[in-house]
Amino acid sequence: GQNIDQPTEMTATEGAIVQINCTYQTSGFNGLFWYQQHAGEAPTFLSYNVLDGLEEKGRFSSFLSRSKGYSYLLLKELQMKDSASYLCAAMDSNYQLIWGAGTKLIIKP
Amino acid sequence: IAGITQAPTSQILAAGRRMTLRCTQDMRHNAMYWYRQDLGLGLRLIHYSNTAGTTGKGEVPDGYSVSRANTDDFPLTLASAVPSQTSVYFCASSDGLAGGSDTQYFGPGTRLTVL
């Protein structure tokens, strides 16, 4: 079956760095997406990886290892506004997204 | 402002009633999607449309129907609502180009409660 695993909740301190991990099992693979979702709002696109390695985009970076079925989202210089849920989604061979349940990130002052 | 709109924002519905959730996009995207989001679960695909005139079933299609008469609109209908359909419903759209980053963009959601 197809499955995405990510931690349910994480806590970090303002100004610090946090890494949110995601492992996936899909029938075929066409890329890994990260979305941010603030409470009561729609998911918004953060990053896309299809090749192994690290993609950096400002304070946010995303890493992919296809051989390990593993990705992480790295958030640097955390700000209070980064408190949100972070959704990992893998695109399968039919170009459908398989979604994880999301990681709720709590930022403390 | 380009994007996706959904209506209504929220709705309380009696079980057994028929309800249509509306979704409109102005980005000329080929593909559109309907998801439901429940606490503790990932987004689950209900139905999708790769292009106007075609639709397909997702992971949880039972009790829902869709139509795609044109590029912009993708309504979702609950023929006879049941309490298990209480959820937040998100409409999304994408270019629909196979390969590459087919990023999905989401509407603001409809919070539906079935009593």
φ, ψ at A80 (rounded to 5°): -60, -35
In this structure, what token pair is assigned to residue B96?
């629909």
Q: Give the model's pLDDT for residue B99.
A: 62
- Residue A11, judged by CB atoms within 10 A of its CB (0-12, 13-18, 19+), counts as exposed
3-state secondary structure B36-70: EECCCCCCEEEEEECCCCCCEECCCCCCEEECCCC
Q: Give the model's pLDDT for residue B97.
A: 73
Q: How far apart are CA B12 and CA B16, in angstroms?
A: 12
At A28-73, the pLDDT tens digits run 999 999 999 999 999 999 999 999 999 999 999 999 999 999 999 9
Min Cα separation A77/chain B (Å) = 26
Indicate yes or no: CB of B106 within 8 angstroms of CB of A100. Answer: no
Sequence-distant (≥ 6) Cβ neighbours of residue A96 within 8 angstroms: B45, B48, B58
Q: Give the model's pLDDT for residue B38.
A: 95
Mutation for testing the A interface, residue in B38, B44, B104 having most A CBs under 10 Å: B104
Q: Give the model's pLDDT for residue B100.
A: 54
Look at the block and give the residue holding tokens 């995601």: A22
**Any CB–CB contact under 8 A between B38 and chain A?**
no
Q: Give the model's pLDDT for residue A94.
A: 85
Nearest to B40 among A50, A99, A101 (CB): A101
Q: How far apart are CA A73 and CA A20, in angstroms?
A: 5
Min Cα separation B73/chain A (Å) = 19
Q: Is the pLDDT of residue A21 over 60?
A: yes
Consecutive 10-residue averages of pLDDT for chain B (115 residues): 90 97 96 95 94 95 97 97 98 80 92 97
Q: What does the DSSP assignment read for A45-96?
A: EEEEE-SSEEEEETTEEEEEETTTTEEEEEE-S--GGG-EEEEEEEE-TTS-
Measured between beta carbons, which residues in chain A are less than 8 angstroms from residue B40? Answer: 101
Q: Give the model's pLDDT for residue B51.
A: 93
Indicate yes or no: CB of B43 within 8 angstroms of CB of A96. Answer: no
Q: Give the model's pLDDT for residue B3.
A: 92
Q: How far apart are CA B67 and CA B22, in angstroms?
A: 11
Q: Is the pLDDT of residue A107 over 60?
A: yes
Look at the block and give the residue holding tokens 């640097």: A76
The alpha carbon torsion through A96, A98, A104, A107 (nearest 10 deg) reads: -60
Nearest to A99 among B42, B48, B103 (CB): B42
CB atoms within 10 A of CB A101: 20
pLDDT band of residue A1 (cuts 50, 70, 90) is confident
Beta-carbon contacts below 8 Å between A and B? 43
Q: Give the model's pLDDT for residue A91.
A: 93
Indicate yes or no: CB of A99 within 8 angstroms of CB of B103. Answer: no
